[in-house]
C-alpha cells in the first residue's frame, strides 16, 4: 500500500497581514506527479515557499504533514535533509562558492542525517559526472560559482541538476519552465522524468500548460485566489490551455 | 517572527577565546613619556650609544608631530602620558639563557594560545619568536636556523650580537620621521624580531613571531626587521592576541623588510588582537606601519594579512619597488564586527622600471563594523613599463555596517598601466535561505560564503595557517543563533 508523502489540510497563510492561502487541501502519495496551475497572484509560489520553510509567512490555520510529521515544525534545513527539495523560480547567486563545493556540502548533509558516511571529493565527482550529462551541462560547470553569471536557462538546469543529485522524496518545482526555450524545457523535463519512481513524488507548479507536455501529471489542480478550485487529470491542463482560466472563475462565481 | 537579517546577525556575535590574563610579576616603567623614559628603556636594554641617540631623535621629532586625522575611524583622544611604555615579565638574573629559565607561567600562556615553545610540543617546521608585552621571551629552532646561516632572534639580542646589521638597516625603510606612530615606536620600541637570510639561502622553515599583550595600560611597541640578501627566500608569519579589558590599549608596531637582488620575502599576518566587546568597550588600537623595500632587481615582497581583531586597525603594509623588475603584492582580508573599525590597505610605490604590483583586498563588515580600504598606487616617472592590478571587494552582513573604498592612483609616465576593480555585495537572506533549503545550516552557509569571498587571499597563506585563518574567520563571525 502506498504511503502518503504530503498532506496539506485547510492551510491558511499570509504575509504582512495579507491573506494569500485560504484553505488549501492537497494530498500527495508515493509515485504521483501533481501539477498546480493558476493565474498570477493565486498563491502558487507562496505555497512552494511555505513548503520549503521560507520565513516571513504566517500560518493562521491548518496543517501540513510530511510522512506523518508536522512539516511546519521543521527548519528548512531539516526539511531538506528529510527529502524535501524546492527548485527555485529565481535561483540565487552565491559568488565565490563553487558549485561542486556547495553541492557536495548539501549531499553530505543529507548523508550525515541518514547515518551514512560523507562522500570525499572523488566519490562525489563520480556521482555527479553521470548526472551532468542528463542535464547537458558543460564540463566547467562544477568549477563555476553557484549560479553566478549563469544565464536564466543555466540557472534552471542547475536547479534540476541539484535535484537529480540530491534525489529527494518530494520535489517541488516552482515555475521551472518560466524563461526556458523549448530545447531547455525538454532537457529539464527529461531530468525530472528520470527522477520519477514509485517511492517519491513531484509537485510541479506552473503557469503554462506546455511543461505538462513533457512532464505528464497524474493530477492537475487549479489554484485560484488561495484555494484549489478544481482538480482533474492531465486533460484539465489541456482544457485550461484552450480556454484560459476565465471559464473556471466564472463557474466558481456561479456556484458561490 | 524573527527576520532573516536578525538571524544572520545572531551569527556574528563572536566570542574571544584568547581573552585571559596571565598573573605574572612584571618589571614596568612608570606611565608617561619623556626623555627619561626613553633613556630608561635604552638603559634597561643595555643598548649601544647609537641606538639611544636614534631613539632620542625620534622622540624629539615625535613631539613636533600630530596624530593623523585622515583615517575614517573615530575614537577618543589618546592620552600618551597615561600609557606604560615598558613592561617585561620579571626575570631571574640576566634573563633566560634557555627555555628552562623561562617562567613556567609564560610557557603555559603560550601553550594556551596554541604556540607551544617547549622542544617537544613545538610546531613542526615553524620557528617561533614569542614576544610578551615589551620583550621577547623565547625563540625556538635557533640552532637549526644558525646551521644555514639564518639569524632569527629577538630585536634586543640582534642589537647586541649584530649591531652592524641593525645600524645599517634600522629605519632604512621606515625612517623615524615617517609618521606619528612610527616616530613614537622608534622612540620607545622595546623588542621585536630580527631575521637575516644570507645570500642564496632558502630559509628551511617558516619563521614566526607571536605577539601577546598582557599587562594593563601597557602599550606594545615592537619592531620587526627582516633582511633577505641576494637570491634568498623567507616566509614569515606573525600572530597576535591580548586579554579582554574594558580599556583600550595601544599597539604601534613598525615592520621593515628589505629584499636584495632576486630575494623574496613573504610576510603573513593573522591579527587577532582583542576586538572589544559587543558594545564596543575595550579592544586594541592597532596603529601599525609596515613597509617593504624591493631594493634589488627582480626582488619580490608579498604581504598577506588576515585582520579579524582590534577595536581600530590603521595599517597599510606597503612596498617600495625600487629594483627593476621587482614585484610587490598585497593580499588582505579585514573583518569588522560589532563596533570594530578598520582603515587599511596598501601603498605600492613604483620607482624602478618594469615593476609589478598586485592588490587584492577583501573587507567584511558585520553589525556596526566600519571597513575602509585605502590604497595608493604611485608610478613614478622612471618606472616605465610598470603595471598594477587592484581589486577591492566588500562584503556586508546585515544592514548597520559600512564599507568604504578610497583608491588613490598616480601615474607619472605613459608606458605603465593601472587597473582597479571594486565590488560591494551583501550576504542576503535569500542566499541563506537557498543554502538552508539544500540542507546547509545558516552558520555553515555564512562561513561558506565568507570563505568563498576570501579564498583568493587564503590561498596565499602558508598551508597550516590557511586552515587556522578559515577557522578564525568562522569564530569571528559566529555566535548564538538569533
Q: What is the DSSP string of B122-177?
A: PPTTEEEEEEETTEEEEE-SHHHHHHTT-EEEEHHHHHHH-HHHHHHHTTSSS-TT
- In this predicted structure, what is the pLDDT of residue B49? 93
Q: Quick one: which H or E segment has residue A101? A: helix A99-113
* Contact by Cβ (8 Å): B320, B292: yes
Q: Is the per-residue pLDDT at B5 higher than 60?
A: no
Question: Which residues of B have a CB under 8 Å from any CB of A?
Answer: 1-4, 7, 425, 428-431, 433-441, 444, 448-449, 451-453, 455
Q: Which three cell numbers stand for residue A153?
A: 536557462
- In this predicted structure, what is the pLDDT of residue A23? 94
**Does A60 touch chain B if contact means CB atoms closer than 8 Å?**
no
Rounded distance between C-alpha atoms, residue B365 and residue B397, angstroms: 6
Contact B438 A102 (CB under 8 A): yes
- In this predicted structure, what is the pLDDT of residue B417? 96
Q: In what order do the strands lie in the sheet with A170-174?
A: A84-87, A170-174, A201-206, A33-37, A219-224, A227-232
- In this predicted structure, what is the pLDDT of residue B86? 83
- In this predicted structure, what is the pLDDT of residue A151? 86
Pick from A58, A85, A92: CB nearest B434: A92
- In this predicted structure, what is the pLDDT of residue B217? 64
Three-state DSSP class for residue A212: helix
Supply the mean pLDDT for chain B: 84
* Contact by Cβ (8 Å): B144, B127: yes
**Sequence-separated (6 or more) residues with CB below 8 Å from residue A116:** none
pLDDT band at residue A31 under the 50/70/90 scheme: very high
Mean predicted confidence (pLDDT) in B92-114: 61
Asked if the interface predicted TM-score (ipTM) of this complex is over 0.85, the answer is yes
Nearest C-alpha of chain B: how many angstroms from A13?
14
Residue the block writes with cell 629552532: B141
Give domain limits for chain B: 4-476
Which carries the bigger pLDDT value, residue B42 or residue B243? B42
Summarize pLDDT for A146-204 with one digit per residue, the tens: 998 888 888 999 999 999 999 999 999 999 988 888 888 888 899 889 889 999 999 99
**Sequence-separated (6 or more) residues with CB below 8 Å from residue B330:** B302, B303, B317, B318, B319, B345, B346, B348, B357, B358, B359, B360, B361, B375
For residue A161, the chain B residues in CB contact (below 8 A) are none
* Contact by Cβ (8 Å): B162, B40: no
* Contact by Cβ (8 Å): B226, B234: yes
Mean predicted confidence (pLDDT) in A28-44: 93
Beta bridge partners of B315: B288, B344
Range scoring the smallest mean pLDDT among A154-168, B7-21, B60-74: B7-21
- In this predicted structure, what is the pLDDT of residue B420? 93
- In this predicted structure, what is the pLDDT of residue B10? 44
Mean predicted confidence (pLDDT) in B183-198: 92
Mean predicted confidence (pLDDT) in B203-223: 77
* Contact by Cβ (8 Å): B274, B241: yes
pLDDT band at residue A242 under the 50/70/90 scheme: confident
For residue A170, the chain B residues in CB contact (below 8 A) are none
- In this predicted structure, what is the pLDDT of residue B154? 87
Q: Is the per-residue pLDDT at A35 higher than 50?
A: yes
Mean predicted confidence (pLDDT) in B160-184: 95
| Chain Cα centroid distance, residue B19 | 19
Nearest C-alpha of chain B: how many angstroms from A75?
8
- In this predicted structure, what is the pLDDT of residue A204? 95
Q: Does domain A4-255 have CATH number 3.90.1490.10?
A: no
Q: Tell which residue, A119, A109, A113, A97, has the closest CA to residue B447.
A: A97
**Sequence-separated (6 or more) residues with CB below 8 Å from residue B220:** B131, B133, B134, B190, B211, B213, B249, B250, B251, B252, B253
Range scoring the smallest mean pLDDT among A63-67, B136-140, B261-265, B363-367: B136-140
Amino acid at each position: 500500500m502506498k504511503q502518503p508523502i504530503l498532506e496539506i489540510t485547510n492551510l491558511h497563510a499570509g504575509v504582512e497581514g495579507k491573506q494569500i492561502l485560504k484553505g488549501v487541501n492537497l494530498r500527495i502519495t508515493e509515485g504521483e506527479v501533481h501539477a498546480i496551475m493558476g493565474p498570477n497572484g493565486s498563491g502558487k509560489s507562496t505555497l512552494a515557499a511555505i513548503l520549503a520553510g521560507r520565513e516571513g509567512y504566517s500560518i493562521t490555520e491548518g496543517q501540513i504533514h510530511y510522512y506523518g510529521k508536522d512539516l511546519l515544525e521543521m527548519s528548512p534545513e531539516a526539511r531538506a535533509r528529510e527529502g524535501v527539495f524546492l527548485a527555485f523560480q529565481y535561483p540565487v547567486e552565491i559568488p565565490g562558492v563553487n558549485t561542486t563545493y556547495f553541492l557536495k556540502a548539501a549531499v553530505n548533509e543529507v548523508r550525515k542525517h541518514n547515518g551514512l558516511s560523507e562522500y570525499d571529493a572523488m566519490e562525489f565527482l563520480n556521482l555527479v559526472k553521470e548526472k551532468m550529462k542528463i542535464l547537458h551541462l558543460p564540463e566547467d560547470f562544477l568549477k563555476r560559482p553557484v549560479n553566478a553569471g549563469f544565464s536564466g536557462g543555466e540557472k534552471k538546469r542547475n536547479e534540476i541538476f541539484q535535484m537529480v543529485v540530491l534525489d529527494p522524496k518530494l520535489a517541488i518545482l516552482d515555475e521551472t519552465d518560466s524563461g526556458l526555450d523549448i530545447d531547455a524545457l525538454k532537457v529539464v523535463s527529461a531530468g525530472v522524468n528520470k527522477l520519477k519512481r514509485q517511492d517519491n513524488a513531484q509537485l510541479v507548479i506552473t503557469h503554462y500548460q506546455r511543461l505538462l507536455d513533457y512532464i505528464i501529471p497524474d493530477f492537475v489542480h487549479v489554484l485560484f485566489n488561495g484555494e484549489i478550485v478544481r482538480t482533474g487529470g492531465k486533460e484539465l491542463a489541456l482544457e485550461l490551455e484552450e480556454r484560459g482560466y476565465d471559464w473556471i472563475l466564472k463557474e466558481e462565481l456561479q456556484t458561490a | 517572527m524573527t527576520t532573516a537579517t536578525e538571524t544572520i546577525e545572531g551569527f556574528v556575535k563572536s566570542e574571544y577565546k584568547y581573552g585571559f590574563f596571565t598573573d605574572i610579576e612584571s618589571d614596568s616603567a612608570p606611565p608617561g613619556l619623556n626623555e627619561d623614559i626613553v633613556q630608561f628603556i635604552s638603559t634597561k636594554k643595555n643598548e649601544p650609544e647609537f641606538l639611544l641617540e636614534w631613539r632620542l631623535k625620534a622622540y624629539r621629532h615625535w613631539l613636533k608631530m600630530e596624530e593623523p586625522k585622515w583615517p575614517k575611524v573615530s575614537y577618543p583622544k589618546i592620552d600618551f602620558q597615561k600609557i606604560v611604555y615598558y613592561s617585561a615579565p620579571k626575570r631571574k638574573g640576566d634573563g633566560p639563557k634557555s627555555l628552562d629559565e623561562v617562567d613556567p607561567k609564560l610557557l603555559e600562556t603560550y601553550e594556551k594560545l596554541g604556540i607551544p615553545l617547549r622542544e617537544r610540543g613545538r610546531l613542526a617546521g615553524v620557528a617561533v619568536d614569542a614576544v610578551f608585552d615589551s620583550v621577547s621571551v623565547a625563540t625556538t629552532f635557533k640552532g637549526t636556523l644558525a646551521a644555514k646561516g639564518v639569524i632569527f632572534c629577538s630585536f634586543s639580542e640582534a642589537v647586541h650580537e649584530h649591531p652592524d646589521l641593525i645600524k645599517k638597516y634600522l629605519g632604512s625603510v621606515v625612517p623615524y620621521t615617517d609618521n606619528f606612530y612610527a616616530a613614537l615606536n622608534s622612540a620607545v620600541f622595546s623588542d621585536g624580531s630580527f631575521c637575516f637570510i644570507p645570500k642564496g639561502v632558502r630559509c628551511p622553515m617558516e619563521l614566526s613571531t607571536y605577539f601577546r599583550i598582557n599587562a594593563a595600560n601597557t602599550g606594545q611597541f615592537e619592531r620587526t626587521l627582516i633582511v633577505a640578501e641576494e637570491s634568498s627566500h623567507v616566509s614569515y608569519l606573525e600572530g597576535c592576541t591580548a586579554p579582554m579589558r574594558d580599556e583600550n590599549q595601544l599597539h604601534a608596531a613598525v615592520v621593515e623588510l628589505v629584499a636584495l637582488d632576486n630575494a623574496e620575502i613573504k610576510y603573513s599576518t593573522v591579527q587577532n588582537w582583542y576586538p572589544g566587546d559587543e558594545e564596543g568597550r575595550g579592544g586594541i588600537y592597532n596603529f601599525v606601519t609596515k613597509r617593504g623595500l624591493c631594493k634589488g632587481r627582480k626582488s619580490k615582497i608579498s604581504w598577506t594579512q588576515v585582520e579579524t581583531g582590534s577595536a581600530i586597525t590603521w595599517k597599510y603594509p606597503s612596498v617600495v619597488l625600487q629594483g627593476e623588475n621587482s614585484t610587490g603584492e598585497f593580499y588582505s582580508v579585514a573583518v569588522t564586527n560589532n563596533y570594530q573599525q578598520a582603515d587599511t590597505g596598501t601603498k605600492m610605490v613604483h620607482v624602478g622600471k618594469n615593476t609589478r604590483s598586485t592588490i587584492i583586498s577583501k573587507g567584511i563588515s558585520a553589525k556596526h563594523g566600519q571597513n575602509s580600504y585605502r590604497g595608493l598606487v604611485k608610478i613614478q616617472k622612471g618606472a616605465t613599463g610598470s603595471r598594477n592590478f587592484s581589486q577591492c571587494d566588500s562584503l556586508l552582513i546585515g544592514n548597520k555596517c559600512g564599507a568604504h573604498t578610497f583608491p588613490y592612483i598616480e601615474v607619472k609616465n605613459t608606458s605603465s598601466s593601472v587597473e582597479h576593480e571594486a565590488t560591494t555585495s551583501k550576504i542576503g537572506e535569500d542566499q541563506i535561505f537557498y543554502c538552508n533549503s539544500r540542507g546547509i545550516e545558516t552558520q555553515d552557509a555564512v562561513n561558506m560564503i565568507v570563505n568563498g569571498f576570501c579564498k583568493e587571499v587564503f590561498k596565499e597563506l602558508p598551508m597550516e595557517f590557511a586552515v587556522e585563518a578559515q577557522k578564525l574567520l568562522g569564530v569571528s563571525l559566529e555566535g548564538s543563533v538569533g
